């Protein structure tokens, strides 16, 4: 049986129709019911809420493949999968365009003050400020140059933005983009956008030191992983006026406490982890994962 424990696009479910499967988009938050199904599970399809760890795997003796409806691995113990010989299916790059669109939209929306202007007009004020900032000639720093970082760069340059990239693990970075150290040139950066996985090396990498080195009035965009940012240091940087603000699609705790410091700051825009959630991206991810999970089961018959 294929068990899907979180939201999956209907086209992905249709792809599973010729295989025995069970779908409950809220099963991840019903641990007792989830455990009841695990002994029958041959394949598990999850998003980012189901913890696929040793404890879960120990209760699933027949499992042969795990499919992830996204690219992050924060909730999956890959070492435990390897030890058990369990295949892992990840749609790398499948939502790169959607996340890149989010980042460019964040840059444009923040620079032109769309939210504030819409709210003012709705309240009856006809304000036409002359100091809104355009993006032509502005410096966008990308931290990470995988599929998503590359897609952002490709979309930013036609707007006339200057793009620079820090990624010590990618060789194929155009010379006009590459910086050798994450701190290089931060004093000229207007927008900094994160596109790296959460690892022990990247945990809290955006901290007081890095934020302090940014150009006054810079803006942080994080549509990658919440744990990359030291949120207390970010709140300090925004409250002090050093940063103009931040657009956060991900938080260290999701959903965040509505009374935490970042949630109370007007210059922090928070969205509910939706950067990659376009209908097009979710359809293609769901179908891709469903097809490959079935392929893995077909190729690896269980005893």
What are the tens digits of pLDDT across the range 119-135?
888 889 898 877 778 89
The catalytic residues are: 225, 254, 273
58-108 pLDDT per residue, tens? 999 999 999 999 887 889 999 999 999 999 999 988 889 999 999 999 999
Q: In what order do the strands lie in the sheet with 87-89?
A: 21-23, 2-4, 43-46, 65-68, 87-89
- Closest by CA to 229, choosing from 256, 201, 202, is 202
161-219 pLDDT per residue, tens? 999 999 999 999 999 999 999 999 999 999 999 999 998 999 999 999 999 999 999 99
Residue 302, pLDDT > 60, answer no
Looking at every residue in the chain, the average pLDDT score rounds to 93
Domains 2-94+279-299 and 96-270 share a fold: yes
* Residue 280, number of CB atoms within 10 A of its CB: 11
Residue 303, pLDDT > 50, answer no
Domain ranges for the chain, please list them: 2-94+279-299, 96-270
* Mean pLDDT to the nearest integer, 231-255: 96
Name the CATH superfamily housing domain 96-270. Answer: NAD(P)-binding Rossmann-like Domain (3.40.50.720)
Instruction: Provide CATH code, domain 2-94+279-299.
Output: 3.40.50.720
Residue 267, pLDDT > 70, answer yes
Q: pLDDT tier at 24 (50, 70, 90 boundaries)?
A: very high
Q: What is the CA radius of gyration of the chain?
A: 21
Asked whether 107 and 191 are in contact (CB, 8 A), the reply is: yes
């Amino acid at each position: 049986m294929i068990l899907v424990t979180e939201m999956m696009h209907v086209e992905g479910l249709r792809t599973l129709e010729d295989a025995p499967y069970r779908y409950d988009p809220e099963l991840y938050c019903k641990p007792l019911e989830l455990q009841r199904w695990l002994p029958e599970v041959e394949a598990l399809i999850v998003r980012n809420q189901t913890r696929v760890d040793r404890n879960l795997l120990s209760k699933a003796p027949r499992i042969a493949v795990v499919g992830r409806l996204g690219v992050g691995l924060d909730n999956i113990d890959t070492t435990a999968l390897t030890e058990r010989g369990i295949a892992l299916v990840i749609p790398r790059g499948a939502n790169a365009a959607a996340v890149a669109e989010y980042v460019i939209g964040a840059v444009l929306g923040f620079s032109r003050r769309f939210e504030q202007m819409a709210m003012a007009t709705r309240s009856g004020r006809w304000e036409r400020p002359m100091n809104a900032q355009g993006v032509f000639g502005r410096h966008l720093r990308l931290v990470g140059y995988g599929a998503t970082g590359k897609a952002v760069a490709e979309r930013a340059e036609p707007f006339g933005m200057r793009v620079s990239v820090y990624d010590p693990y990618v060789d194929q970075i155009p010379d006009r983009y590459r910086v050798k150290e994450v701190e290089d040139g931060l004093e000229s950066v207007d927008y900094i956008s994160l596109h790296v996985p959460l690892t022990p090396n990247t945990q809290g990498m955006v901290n007081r030191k890095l934020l302090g080195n940014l150009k006054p009035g810079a803006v942080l965009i994080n549509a990658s992983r919440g744990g990359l940012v030291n949120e207390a240091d970010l709140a300090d940087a925004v409250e002090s006026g050093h940063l103009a603000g931040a657009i956060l699609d991900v938080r260290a705790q999701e959903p965040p406490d509505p009374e935490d410091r970042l949630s109370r700051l007007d210059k922090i825009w928070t969205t509910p982890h939706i950067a990659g959630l376009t209908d097009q991206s979710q359809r293609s991810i769901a179908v891709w994962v469903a097809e490959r999970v079935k392929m893995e089961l077909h190729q690896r018959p269980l005893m």
